[in-house]
C-alpha cells in the first residue's frame, strides 16, 4: 500500500512539495510541461539526503518560481524508483517537457547544484532574468504598479521569497501608499521579516512614516530662506523630502547640517543619514557616493 506523503517541513509555498506514485504524473510529468521540475529521490535514513535536501530547497526558492522541486521518498515509492532506475540515493532528476533531461547521484556542493539548475533553465529555454529580477527592474524603472503585481505573483507561489517581499513593500512606497506598505510589512512571516532585504525595506517604511509628519516642504524651504542656520528646520526638511521620495535632496540637506555643525542635536543629522543608508542598502550607488562625502566631512 502506498502511504500518502506528509507535507514537507520545508515546503516552499507551492514550489516545493512531496509526491508519491499517485501524484507523480501530475506533480512532475504534467507540471514539467510548463515549468522545469527537479525530483529528489530520498529516504529518511539516508545521511547524504539530509545534506542535499536543504541545499536543493534553498536553490529552488532563490529561483523565484522559475522551477519546482518534488521530493519522493523511495521507501514509499519503490515501484516508481525502480521504473526510473534509482539504485542509489540521493538521486536527483530534472524534468522538462515531460521527460528527464539531466540527473546526478550523491550529495553535491552548492556550486554544483547551482550549475545543475543553470543547465536545467537553459534546457527549458528560460530567460537569464527570473521573475524577481524582472520585478526589480520594473521597480527601478518607476513602474511600481507592474512591479507590485509581479512581486505578489511570486509571493503567491513562494511566500518565503525575501527579495519579493521586500520588493512589494518598496513598490507600495513608490506608489505613495504608505498604509499599504506598512500593512504588507507587518503581515510578513517572522522568518522573512528578519532578512536583510526586508530589514532595509522596513527602514524605508519607518523613514517614510517620519516624513509624513515632518511638515510641508514648501513652508520649510521658506523658513530656511530667512533662517539658513536653523538646523532643526533643515532637519525637518530632510525628513519631509525623504517622505516625498526625494532621497538625494534629503541627503544633501543632512550633509549640509553635518558640514555646518556635525555635533548638532547629538549628531542627529549623521544618525538620520545612516538610517537612509540602511534603507537604500549598502551597495546602492547613492549610499556609496554619500558615504564617501560624509567621510570627507567628518575627517576633514
Please give the positions annotated as active site. 46, 49
What are the beta bridge partners of residue 93? Answer: 39, 103
What ranges make up the beta strands (E) of the chain?
Answer: 16-19, 37-42, 68-73, 91-96, 99-105
For 49-113, the three-class secondary structure string (H helix, E strand, C coil) is HHHHHHHHHHHHHHCCCCCEEEEEECCCCHHHHHHCCCCCCCEEEEEECCEEEEEEECCCCHHHH
β-bridge pairing 68-73 and 99-105: unpaired
CA–CA distance, 115 with 50 (Å, rounded to integer):
20
Task: State the CB neighbour count (10 A cutoff) for residue 22.
Answer: 13
Q: Given 3-state DSSP classes, what are the helix, strand and coil percentages for the chain, each rounded to the nearest 5? A: 60, 10, 30
Q: Of 179, 141, 160, nearest to 13 (Cα)?
A: 160
Amino acid at each position: 500500500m502506498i502511504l500518502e506523503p506528509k507535507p514537507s517541513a520545508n515546503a516552499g509555498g507551492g514550489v516545493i512539495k512531496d509526491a508519491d506514485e499517485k501524484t507523480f504524473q501530475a506533480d512532475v510529468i504534467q507540471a514539467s510541461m510548463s515549468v522545469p521540475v527537479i525530483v529528489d529521490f530520498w529516504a529518511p535514513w539516508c545521511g547524504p539526503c539530509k545534506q542535499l535536501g536543504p541545499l536543493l530547497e534553498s536553490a529552488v526558492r532563490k529561483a523565484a518560481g522559475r522551477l519546482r522541486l518534488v521530493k519522493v521518498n523511495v521507501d514509499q515509492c519503490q515501484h516508481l524508483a525502480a521504473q526510473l532506475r534509482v539504485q542509489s540515493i540521493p538521486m536527483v532528476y530534472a524534468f522538462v517537457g515531460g521527460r528527464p533531461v539531466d540527473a546526478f547521484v550523491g550529495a553535491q556542493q552548492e556550486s554544483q547544484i547551482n550549475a545543475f539548475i543553470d543547465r536545467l533553465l537553459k534546457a527549458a529555454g528560460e530567460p537569464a532574468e527570473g521573475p524577481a529580477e524582472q520585478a526589480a527592474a520594473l521597480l527601478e524603472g518607476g513602474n511600481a504598479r507592474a512591479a507590485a503585481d509581479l512581486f505578489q505573483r511570486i509571493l503567491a507561489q513562494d511566500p518565503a521569497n525575501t527579495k519579493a517581499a521586500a520588493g512589494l513593500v518598496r513598490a507600495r512606497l513608490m506608489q505613495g501608499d504608505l498604509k499599504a506598505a506598512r500593512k504588507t510589512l507587518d503581515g510578513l512571516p517572522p522568518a522573512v521579516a528578519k532578512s536583510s532585504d526586508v530589514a532595509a525595506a522596513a527602514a524605508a517604511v519607518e523613514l517614510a512614516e517620519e516624513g509624513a509628519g515632518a511638515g510641508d516642504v514648501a513652508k520649510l524651504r521658506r523658513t530656511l530662506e530667512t533662517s539658513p542656520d536653523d538646523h532643526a528646520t533643515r532637519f525637518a526638511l530632510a525628513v519631509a523630502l525623504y517622505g516625498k521620495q526625494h532621497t538625494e535632496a534629503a541627503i544633501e540637506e543632512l550633509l549640509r547640517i553635518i558640514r555646518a555643525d556635525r555635533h548638532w542635536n547629538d549628531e542627529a543629522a549623521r544618525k538620520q543619514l545612516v538610517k537612509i543608508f540602511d534603507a537604500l542598502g549598502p551597495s546602492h550607488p547613492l549610499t556609496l557616493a554619500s558615504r564617501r562625502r560624509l567621510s570627507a566631512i567628518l575627517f576633514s
